[in-house]
């Protein structure tokens, strides 16, 4: 059960998908197409293969927000090959962000928010989503040709922290999907060094940003991710590519807001009110059954008529 439900979809399948993508792109003739495609293809296949291994192929048309995210990531993977200029990349990022928000937030848009509230939410979330896109693009652009293990550790730490945050927000499924993405990024970081490949290009940020934004939206609106931890996680994503001081020294500090967010989520989980029936349903002790006296029992002490019984203790 542990292997089939957790290890296989979260670790092994995404790692295999990312590894196959890197090996195939190593053989692609022409350096520039291979560079542009490596990160986007490997991360996209890691997430999508983990999704399919965990939940099967999504329905079409999709009926759940997480199923819609699957198709948005497919779109991000496809346009990652096509968007060549900076202008077209930013147009694509805006379209992807808007599509992610509208598709994933269809339920609150239709049933919860008024028109004014929906416009406010979509406007604020669009700005946050574009900030995540800009940060990932800047971070991957600054990578260059030489390996930077500090930056690699920060990227893996960021995605791992998001997975932990979603797991603490009562959504094991979202946490596993974030874990699948983390494994894919880890394979890229290590495998690209082994194969002497330039690991990243800004086009990979299309997939990474779309998945990150989509998972946080699902956690916040369909799981139990609180607004403050979600905002801190977004802040860490935005700081990932921010030009602050000595990037090599300051990069690890970008994980500080996310670390606080994970701590807040853990504190919230530990301080949830306890289920008053937890002792009853969690114990292995047999129930003690005692007769419940009624009027008929008083009339007939032998209990031949009208005797009822009730569980009065499970201890």
Which residues have C-beta within 8 Å of that of residue 204, sequence separation ≥ 6? 38, 39, 40, 42, 43, 80, 136, 140
Token pair listed for 93: 């990022």
pLDDT confidence of 42, banded at 50, 70, 90? Answer: confident
**Is it the case that residue 65 has pLDDT exceeding 60?**
yes
* Spans of all domains in the chain: 2-270, 278-313
Tell me what pLDDT residue 308 has: 40
Contact between 230 and 130 (Cβ < 8 Å):
no
Tell me what pLDDT residue 292 has: 45
The rounded distance, in Å, linking the Cα atoms of 67 and 174 is: 12
Helix then strand count (H, E) for the chain reads 15, 2
Q: What is the pLDDT of residues 72-120, one digit of tens each?
A: 999 888 887 766 655 567 888 889 999 999 999 988 888 888 888 889 9
């Amino acid at each position: 059960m542990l292997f089939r439900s957790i290890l296989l979809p979260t670790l092994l399948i995404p790692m295999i998908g990312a590894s196959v993508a890197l090996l195939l792109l190593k053989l692609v003739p022409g350096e520039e197409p291979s560079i542009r495609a490596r990160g986007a293809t490997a991360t996209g296949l890691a997430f999508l293969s983990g999704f399919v291994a965990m939940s099967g192929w999504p329905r079409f048309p999709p009926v759940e927000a997480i199923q819609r995210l699957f198709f948005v990531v497919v779109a991000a993977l496809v346009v990652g090959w096509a968007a060549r200029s900076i202008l077209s990349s930013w147009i694509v990022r805006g379209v992807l962000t808007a599509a992610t928000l509208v598709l994933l937030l269809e339920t609150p848009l239709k049933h919860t928010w008024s028109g004014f509230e929906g416009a406010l939410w979509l406007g604020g979330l669009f700005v946050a989503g574009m900030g995540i896109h800009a940060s990932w693009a800047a971070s991957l652009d600054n990578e260059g040709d030489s390996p930077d293990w500090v930056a690699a550790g920060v990227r893996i730490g960021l995605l791992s922290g998001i997975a932990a945050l979603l797991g603490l927000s009562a959504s094991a499924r979202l946490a596993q999907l974030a874990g699948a993405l983390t494994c894919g990024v880890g394979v890229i970081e290590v495998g690209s060094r082994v194969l002497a490949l330039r690991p990243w290009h800004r086009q990979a940020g299309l997939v990474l940003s779309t998945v990150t934004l989509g998972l946080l939206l699902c956690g916040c609106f369909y799981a139990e991710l609180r607004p403050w931890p979600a905002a801190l996680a977004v802040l860490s994503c935005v700081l990932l590519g921010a030009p602050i001081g000595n990037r090599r020294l300051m990069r690890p500090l970008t994980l500080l807001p996310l670390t606080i967010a994970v701590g807040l989520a853990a504190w919230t989980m530990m301080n949830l009110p306890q289920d008053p029936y937890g002792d009853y349903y969690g114990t292995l002790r047999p129930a003690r059954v005692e007769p419940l006296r009624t009027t008929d029992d008083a009339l007939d002490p032998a209990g031949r008529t009208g005797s009822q019984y009730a569980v009065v203790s499970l201890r």
